[in-house]
Amino acid sequence: MATHAPEMPIQVDDETGVWTTDALPMLYVPRHFFVNNHIGIEEVLGAEAYAEILYKAGYKSAWHWCEKEAECHGMSGAAVFEHYMKRLSQRGWGLFETQKLDLETGYAEVKLKHSAFVYVYGKCGRKVDYMFTGWFSGAIDQILAAAGSPIRTVTVQEYGGSEEGHDEGLFVVKPL
């Protein structure tokens, strides 16, 4: 397996120890730590209830991230979304590829390969990447709002790499 150093800027504040990439503070945690916490919460709440909570929280977080990154880098429109997909991929969540992006209608398709969740859950017969759904709508909606569009979206995962017959996931963003 070939490897390379991180492709995103990481700065560590000498006084506080806070890690920063671009305009936002970051946390660096082991995948097993994060996913084990995810599994623990899912076991208590159930996947459906937890997915609903994560959708709302992820939406809000993606909106904030895109707003701050657009400002930091002087970007707008599709460039913000592509930057978001690039950074998500660079941070180890998986490899996100925009298959379709139509900001005029609020429609997008995102393919996910090598999901951090699928690596832990394996072929469990259900979608396990639901954490990402709110992220895509939050990102698209922030970009649309910044452009003055009234369109808002919802994201669903069509299938995941954790399901038989699929080696990757597909997320579809549609206007409400």
Q: What is the residue range of 36's domain?
A: 31-175
In a domain, 163, yes or no: yes
pLDDT of residue 112: 98
pLDDT of residue 19: 93
Compute the distance between CA of residue 53 and CA of residue 150 in angstroms, rounded to an integer.
24
Structure tokens given for 130: 């639901």
In a domain, 42, yes or no: yes
In a domain, 38, yes or no: yes
In this structure, which long-range contacts are made by residues 16-25, counting pairs with CB atoms below 8 Å and at least 24 apart in sequence? Answer: 21/87, 22/68, 22/69, 22/72, 22/73, 22/87, 23/68, 23/69, 23/71, 23/72, 24/65, 24/68, 24/69
In a domain, 4, yes or no: no
**Confidence grade of residue 23 (pLDDT, cut at 50, 70, 90):** confident
109's enclosing H/E stretch is strand 107-113
Dihedral sign, CA of 156, 159, 163, 168? negative
pLDDT, tens only, 80-130 = 999 999 999 999 999 999 999 999 999 999 999 999 999 999 999 999 999
In a domain, 149, yes or no: yes
In a domain, 7, yes or no: no
pLDDT, tens only, 56-72 = 999 999 999 999 999 99
**Confidence grade of residue 1 (pLDDT, cut at 50, 70, 90):** confident
Q: What is the number of structural domains in the chain?
A: 1
Buried/exposed 99-129: b ≥16 CB within 10 Å, e otherwise: eebebeebbbbbbbebbbbbebbeeeeebbb
In a domain, 24, yes or no: no
CATH classification at residue 166? 3.30.1380.20
- The model's pTM: 0.94
In a domain, 108, yes or no: yes
